[in-house]
Amino acid sequence: MPNMLELRNIGHLFDHPEAVAWGPDGRAYAGGEAGQLYRFGLDGGPLEDVARVPGGFLLGLAHDADGNTYACDDKAPAVHRITPDGRVSVYANGNAAQKMRVPNYPVFDDAGNLYVSDSGNWGASDGWIWKVAPGGSATIWDRQANGFTNGMCLSADGRHLYVAESSPPLISRIEILADGSAGKREILVELPRQVPDGLALDVSGNLYISLYNPNIIYRLTPAGQLEALYDDWEQLMLVAPTNIAFGGPDMKTLIIASLCGWSVHVARLETPGLRLRYPKLKG
């Protein structure tokens, strides 16, 4: 079966990018394995090296309304706050009882709470999700989605958090109750002998899933049908795709990072992606 996506290489060299994100400034962002934060356009414009976290390896990224980047770092485990002009500070690294171990992916809600997956140890089912209140106070929010807790995204109504659990491989979602606490975890699809990593939703409720291994981009429909949009079994374009994000003026461009390569790819889709929350934070 032919691939349903037409991929295009952005054309820049990235240092093993794990993360991609679409910022409120209309630019794309990516991370590097030496702590780099990159900023770039989708039209082949220049690649900017915004900042470098010393000794860091940037994983997932999120943004606030002022364009600050919140970057997960698994080398000095923390979520860093990086200003548009490149100043770096620690936003959250856990609390007095428990420090972050493998902060992997951050997601903002409308109120400015930042959900952060903490993967734990591979195969040990000891991952969890932090909830970081505006200002950086962190508590462990959920321990149900514990299978090497990885990429996440928030539903359009803000009532469910979708989670990629890489080991054992499955996609789950957790209800966010009216009081903000974690409700029941629901398994949406199991992916045996595969490694799901990144997630993104479109406006129709389709869930896009990138697989670190094998090199596949899936779409899971609201009815539960799993479709392979791109299967790069030869690794001609995608090399361990990790984070994915929708971007572009019409939000119809899917941006794909390849951790084990040096490139970021994009693909056009008919249905726009769900716009992310960019909360206004104090301070």
Say whether 157 sits in a helix, a strand or coil.
Answer: coil
Cα 240 to Cα 42, 127, 219, 245: the distances in Å are 21, 21, 17, 15
According to the model, what pLDDT value does residue 103 have?
A: 98
Given CA atoms 122, 22, 16, 60 in this order, what sign does their dihedral have? Answer: negative
pLDDT at position 45: 83
Quick one: residue 200, left, alpha or beta (phi over 0 = left, psi -120 to 50 = alpha)? beta
Beta bridge partners, 218, equal 209, 228
Predicted local distance difference test score (pLDDT) of residue 243: 97
Query: Torsion over CA of 127, 131, 137 and 138, rounded to 10 degrees?
Result: -10
- Looking at residue 197, what is its pLDDT? 98
Structure tokens at 261: 């390569």
pLDDT at 234: 93
pLDDT of residue 248: 97
Secondary structure (DSSP) of 127-142: -EEEEE-TTS-EEEEE
**pLDDT score recorded for residue 1:** 61
All structural domains of the chain with their residue ranges: 7-268
Does residue 29 contact residue 23 with C-beta atoms inside 8 Å?
A: yes
Q: Are 163 and 172 in contact (CB under 8 A)?
A: yes
Please give the model's pTM, rounded to 2 decimal places. 0.97
**94-97: long-range contacts (C-beta < 8 A, 24 or more apart)?**
94/130, 94/138, 95/137, 95/138, 95/139
Q: Which residues 6+ apart lie within 8 Å of 31 measured at CB?
A: 17, 18, 19, 37, 38, 57, 58, 59, 61, 71
pLDDT of residue 117: 98
Dihedral of the CA atoms 245, 248, 253, 255 (nearest 10)?
Answer: -40
Determine the Cα–Cα distance for residues 113 and 134; give it in Å rounded to an integer: 6
The pLDDT value given to residue 2: 75
Options 3.40.50.2000, 2.60.40.10, 3.40.1440.60, 2.120.10.30; CATH of 7-268: 2.120.10.30
Which residues of the chain, if any, have pLDDT below 70? 1, 283
Q: What pLDDT shows up at residue 283?
A: 61
